[in-house]
Amino acid sequence: MKNKRPTNRKPKWKLLHQYYSYTGFYSFVGKSLLKAAIPILVFIAALICVHFFVIDINDILAYVTDNFPPLGVLSVFFASESILGLIPPEIFIAWAGKSAHPEWYLAAIATLSYCGGILSYFMGRGIASIPSVFVYLEVKMAKHIKNMRKWGGFLIIVGALLPVPFSISSMAAGIIKFPFGSYLLFGLLRFLRFFLYGVAIFGALN
């Protein structure tokens, strides 16, 4: 009589849960969410205070819309999203909200952010081929790259959804040569972020 295989093997999702618990992934996400909530609330509160007590935000955005060509604004945004995400995307979402076609411009900046992330990914791949620069970034971004190697796609999801520079997560993914197809798939959540932020900011400006 053949011996039966043990049936007490844990399901795959339980093993993953156990792994992410041991490696501190949930703790990392929790801290990131807490950090993300603060700048979002501060930005919205500042927007409301300036709007009601200093100057009408609609006037500022109308001035930018009237005096700066959309292509120029979008070019600045794409450059920012490609190089470390130095300018908060919320500013451009607010600008889109006061444009002639808010939905179209929101879709445009979401697409540019996604494409900027892709450019950052390939910048990371290029950096990884330069030994001296690679060593430098391994030191400067050591914690981020270490986490990326541990958690892979989940960290890309965090970068896509939370108000942390998506380009940094993308660059780190390129440096460790994370599979490009999987990166593109996880990065699509960037569109969800812009949709949700657009709903919130468009509502605050009305």
Asked if residue 188 has pLDDT above 90, the reply is yes
Please check whether residue 78 is in contact with residue 115, taking contact to mean a CB–CB distance below 8 angstroms: yes
pLDDT the model gives residue 1: 47
Which residue in 80, 72, 73 sits closest to 97, CA to CA? 73
Tens-place pLDDT, residues 76-92: 899 989 987 777 788 88
Query: What mean pLDDT do residues 89-102 have?
Result: 84
Q: Where are the domains of the chain?
A: 30-205
Assign 187 a pLDDT band (cuts: 50, 70, 90): very high
Instruction: Give the pLDDT mean for 5-24.
Output: 64
Nearest to 90 by CA among 193, 206, 160: 193
Torsion of CA 50, 55, 56, 59, to 10 degrees: -130
What are 121-169's pLDDT values in tens digits? Answer: 999 888 888 877 777 766 666 666 777 777 777 778 888 887 777 888 8
DSSP 4: P
For residues 98 and 198, the answer to whether their CB atoms sit within 8 Å is: no
Q: What is the pLDDT of residue 108?
A: 94
pLDDT tier for residue 14 given thresholds of 50, 70 and 90 = low
- Per DSSP, 87 falls in state S
Residue listed under structure tokens 């979402």: 93
Helix (H, G, I), strand (E, B) or coil at 119: helix
Other residues' Cβ atoms within 10 Å of the Cβ of residue 46: 11
Sign of CA dihedral 166, 170, 173, 178: positive
Mean pLDDT, rounded, for 186-191: 93
